[in-house]
Amino acid sequence: MDHVTILVVEDEVIVSMDLLHILETMHYSPLCAVRTGDEAVVKAREKKPDVVLMDINIPGTMDGLDAAGIIREELGIPVIFVTSYSDDAIIEQAKHVNPYGYVIKPFTERNLKVAIEIALSRKAAELQDRLSEPPAIPAGLAETPVRTGCPHSSLSDIRTLFVKGFFHDVALLIYSNSEIKEQVFASFIERNLKTRGDLFFAYSFSRAHRNFLSEIQNGKIRVCRIKAGELAPLREILSDVQASSGSAYPVPLKLLIDFSERYEPEDILAVVDQVIAVRKSGVPVSGIIALDSGMTDDILIKELSEKIPGVVAATSYGTLISCADQSFPLESLSFLPQTVVDETVKKILEPVVLSLLEKPISGYNILKEIRGRYNLSVPKARVYTQLYDLQKKGYLSVSTIGKSKVYSPTETGKLHIRQKLDEFRSVFYHILAEMADQNGSSGFPKRKE
């Protein structure tokens, strides 16, 4: 159970230290303990624990119930309440968050262990259910496409705008944060399971494939564990693909290779050269070749960037920056703070979400509409964060139809949405008017005040 990571949220220092010690004796891997609801959300987003143990009465701008709601909605992480509250009113409030367990203090180690194991088992069962059953179509809502493959529990948490064509070419991914790497890998696997071609995953250390065990067993995904100095199995597979490239309609190869150990630069370059040779032989090849920035150097990165035109760097904050081709020098890369990226995307996304809330709609269909109208994939967490904020302010009411939450504007919400959209229209009008003046355009329509 060493791989089961747990975040503790408890404002009493003695209790939190006791919890951390108990978890270690039970052979779990406690990450840390935080005191406030705000810290809990931040750490959950950063660490992606397997389970969160959450007290309810904690300081901060949000209590344990609010924090648990965000963590469950955004990240899909199981939350177990560990609290001294046992009255019906609090339990009823906790039920709305849909926790995976409720442990009342004082508790025994056995009770805590049972709660954690049941939470993990329930989460695993939910993932398996999503794999084996198509999602229910709520009455009155637009039909949604059936998803194939097992959705990754943290896919919605990729807080990044991917560059166009990232999944349709060979890209070099340089990462310093293994959690970002895992999210990108799982997203790549899930997307490519829906397309024609052979999906091959060679890795040193990764858990991304664990969410797709059924696909591995039925041959949809081929995996290969690689080690430093032992790349012969990987080279042989690439040779077999190249040897079978004489077909008039060669099968596309979707490739994911992770060098997360310290490999000899010559070995990595040889594998990359072989991938390029496979592509030149006529096999359509797309995918990611990933390196841990702590296990490589600038010289190797420069040599690889000359061979692979698409280069993506992942900072420890999750920001991805792409170079369209090698004419963009690596040394001129600069990184925006994640807070700046978050605030910018929020402001751009807000009018889009508001414009879709003039009638009852599910979060899934908001994402679907954005994808259909603007050809843009937006991380689910960004949309649901805005919906949660609107709900807290009393602008949205939430009902459940089938397995989906449906968001409807309240009377106050309708007024708020109309006012905000009018403000956005005014801003956009003045921007367009200024652009027209700069271009010397005439006949720009006058805005009705």
The whole-number average pLDDT for the span 184-212 is: 83
Query: The dihedral of CA 435, 162, 235, 303: what is its sign?
Result: positive
Q: For residue 192, what pLDDT is reported? A: 80
Question: Distance between CA 188 and CA 182 in Å, rounded?
Answer: 10
Query: What is the arrangement of strands in the sheet containing 221-225, beginning at the earlier edge strand?
Result: 221-225, 198-203, 253-259, 285-292, 170-175, 310-314, 320-323
Q: What is the distance between the alpha carbons of residues 188 and 184, in angstroms, rounded to a whole number?
A: 6
Name, in order, each residue with C-beta under 8 angstroms of 424's C-beta and a sequence gap of 6 or more.
Answer: 350, 351, 354
In sign, the C-alpha dihedral spanning 407, 349, 344, 414 is negative
Looking from the CA of 368 toward its CB, the CA atoms found within 13 Å total 12
Which domains, from first to last, does the chain contain? 5-129 (3.40.50.2300), 164-335 (3.40.50.300), 339-438 (1.10.10.10)
**DSSP line for 114-161:** HHHHHHHHHHHHHHHHHHHSPPP--TTS---PPP-SPPPTTGGG--S-
pLDDT at 231: 86
41 burial level (CB within 10 Å; 0-12, 13-18, 19+): buried
Summarize the confidence of residues 169-195 as an average pLDDT.
78
Distance between CA atoms of residues 53 and 107, nearest Å: 13
The pLDDT > 90 percentage for the chain reads 12
Q: Which residue has the tokens 């009852």?
A: 360
Confidence of residue 40 (pLDDT cuts 50, 70, 90): very high
- Tens-place pLDDT, residues 247-298: 666 788 888 899 888 888 899 999 999 988 888 888 888 888 888 877 777 7
The pLDDT of residue 424: 77
pLDDT in the model for residue 33: 93
CB 325 within 8 A of CB 309: yes
Q: Cα separation of 81 and 101, whole Å?
A: 6
- C-alpha–C-alpha distance, residues 48 and 64, integer Å: 17
Please give the pLDDT value at position 172.
80
Alpha-carbon dihedral 226, 231, 233, 236, rounded to 10 degrees: 140
Q: How many CB atoms lie within 10 A of CB 115?
A: 22
Contacts 24+ apart (CB under 8 A), 140-147: 140/401, 141/361, 141/362, 141/365, 141/401, 141/404, 141/406, 142/365, 142/368, 144/364, 144/365, 144/368
Mean pLDDT of the chain: 76
Tell how far CA 424 is from the center of its chain: 29
Q: Out of 104-113, 160-169, 289-298, 308-317, which region has the weakest mean confidence (pLDDT)?
A: 160-169
Q: Does 405 have pLDDT greater than 90?
A: no
In terms of residues, how long is the chain? Answer: 449
Sheet hosting strand 361-362, strand order edge to edge:
361-362, 404-409, 396-401
pLDDT, residue 153, reads 29
Contacts of 435 (CB under 8 A, 6+ apart): none
Output 97 or 403, whichever has higher pLDDT.
97
Q: What is the per-residue pLDDT for 242? A: 77
Convert the pLDDT of each residue in 116-170 to its tens digit. Answer: 988 888 887 776 555 444 444 334 333 333 333 333 223 233 333 333 444 457 8
Q: What is the pLDDT of residues 212-261, one digit of tens each?
A: 888 888 888 888 888 887 888 888 888 888 777 666 667 888 888 998 88
Q: What share of the chain is helix, strand, coil (3-state, %, to 5)?
A: 45, 20, 35
Prediction pTM value: 0.41
CA atoms within 13 A on the CB side of 421: 13
- Residue 198 in 3-state DSSP? strand
DSSP summary character for residue 447:
P
330-360: pLDDT as tens digits: 443 444 445 555 666 677 788 888 889 888 9
**Are 3 and 206 a contacting pair, CB within 8 Å?**
no
> Can you give the pLDDT at residue 311?
60
Q: pLDDT higher for 256 or 444?
A: 256
- Cβ contacts of residue 243 below 8 Å, gap of 6+? none
Please, what's the largest Cα pairwise distance for the chain?
77
pLDDT score for 432: 61
Q: Which of 43, 310, 24 is nearest to 179 (CA)?
A: 43
